[in-house]
Amino acid sequence: MHAMLLLLSSISAAQETTQPPAASQVIVPELTAASVSDMSEGFLIYELLIQELSARGAAPIGAAELSTAVGDAAMDCADSTACPGNLWGVFDAQISLVGQVEGTELGLDVTIYFYEPGRDDPFKIVNETLGPGSEEDFVKDLADTTVALMVARNGFVPTGTEAVDPEPEPEPEPIPDPITDPDPDPFVPEGAGPSLPSGTDADPWSEKERKEMGISKGLYEKFISSGNPDPQDWLRQERVRTSKVNLEVGGGVSMGSVDRTVTVRLVLQQDQDDDFVELDRYEEDVLLGGVQGQGSLALYAGLSPRWDLGALVGLGYANKYLVTGWEQVDDGGLVDQTRSEPEPAAAAVPFVEPRLRFFPKATGVFKPYFMVHGNVRFYDSYALQDTEKVSYQPGRPGLQVIGVGGGVGVALDVTPEFVIFFEAPYTQFISGAEAFRQNSSMMVNEPEPNLHVDSVLRLTGGIGFKF
């Protein structure tokens, strides 16, 4: 009996000494890139981080496993307020590392947010600007920091070490009573700044404030690091394009299918009453290549510091050509002919463009941007002048030309309210710009067709005001 009790006691003691440590998993979504050009650098840092955490026994949960379990819920995690909070119910993990990368003039700006279950805000933030070739050193330090936090907060046992009881976190120092101690020494925790645990009085991170400012987590980290206590003052100093209304007035030139010409020539035969009877006709309506001056007015609404949506209305002038004529035939032979080509007239050509613009750089004075747009141009109708015995009716109706395109530009935010811009949008017409030709089988001398053009390149500059 005593032997059996001794055996059971030894088995129980062995089980107590071999209890597995707390969950040793780290959720690591792919880093969110601020622009397409930053994706490759972000993926390199992500792959190095997975390797370093795996080498330390932290069992990282990477993009492949996240995609299998939650689909797209972990994509662009740094820009999603629901991520990584929506991952804790799926994975038993201690920490989630949410990263964001953005190319700047000084190098690659990397921000890593440390999250843990039960908290909506990050409890630690690491932000560094990496020069060429410094990625590996940064990732090794980041992996060491992660493991140290797991050891201190959850009792994680790194690979090759023995389990030890985590040291208890020190009790916070009492806050002096302002009544009994009129001149207390200010309490400044070690490492106070953006990486302090959220929820303390000295913690500068505020998700509510970030949303009110309308900026990303990376930009909010820059605001915290600046030490400026006034969010609006910081936005003005950095020239951040927040959700504002922008009014822009511009002028420039258009090159391409800006002019329009109409050619109408009739085939006539004289009857017994000396009246001319139309037997056939040649008709052509095309857009010609040319250069056109134009002015524009645009209104944009800021969707975020990097995106705005708006509409542009413009007015340009175009040359309007008209060529008329006729051939008189008898028994299939040419009897007489005439041709009239008056001086071209100037015509107004209004146009409308819905636009979407993207600014890769959200701060500073110099901001290049890309845009996509639609375009609708309106050409007026032609009224043809008849002669005493020749009728050219009907005339040519108005023309609405529809196109799509894109372009590049640069905005110089001289002040927070005043901007100078230059841009070059290109439009390819997809509807309404096709040449109209009605050929004549009976005409002896049919005109040569005009060269048709169906695209426009505009060069524009101007000023803008932000409200």
pLDDT tens digits, residue range 217-256?
A: 888 888 888 888 888 888 888 888 776 799 999 999 999 9
Residues 218 and 85 in one domain: no
Counting residues of the chain whose pLDDT is more than 70, the rounded percentage is 84
Residues 259 and 217 in one domain: no
- Which of 154, 171, 195 represents a domain boundary (last residue)? 154
- Asked if residue 390 belongs to a domain, the reply is yes
- Which of 135, 154, 173 represents a domain boundary (last residue)? 154
Residues 286 and 371 in one domain: yes
- Asked if residue 2 belongs to a domain, the reply is no
Residue 366: per-residue pLDDT? 94
Question: Which range has the top average pLDDT, 65-79, 170-184, 263-277, 361-375?
Answer: 361-375
The model carries a pTM of 0.56
Residues 214 and 251 in one domain: no
Number of domains in the chain: 3
Lowest mean pLDDT among 135-139, 206-210, 294-298, 359-363: 206-210
**Which residue range(s) make up the domain with 349?**
245-466
The CATH number given to whatever domain includes residue 279 is 2.40.160.20
For residues 159 and 61, which has the higher predicted lDDT (pLDDT)?
Answer: 61
- Asked if residue 253 belongs to a domain, the reply is yes
- Asked if residue 187 belongs to a domain, the reply is no
Residues 369 and 454 in one domain: yes
On average, the pLDDT of the chain sits at 82
Question: Which range has the top average pLDDT, 185-199, 213-227, 265-279, 310-324?
Answer: 310-324
Q: Which stretch of DSSP H or E encloses residue 142?
A: helix 135-154
Residue 313: per-residue pLDDT? 98
Residues 142 and 40 in one domain: yes
Residues 317 and 400 in one domain: yes
Lowest mean pLDDT among 12-21, 39-48, 90-99: 12-21
| pLDDT category of residue 16 using cuts at 50, 70 and 90 | very low
For residues 272 and 7, which has the higher predicted lDDT (pLDDT)?
Answer: 272
| pLDDT category of residue 177 using cuts at 50, 70 and 90 | low
Residues 320 and 367 in one domain: yes
The CATH number given to whatever domain includes residue 103 is 3.40.50.10070
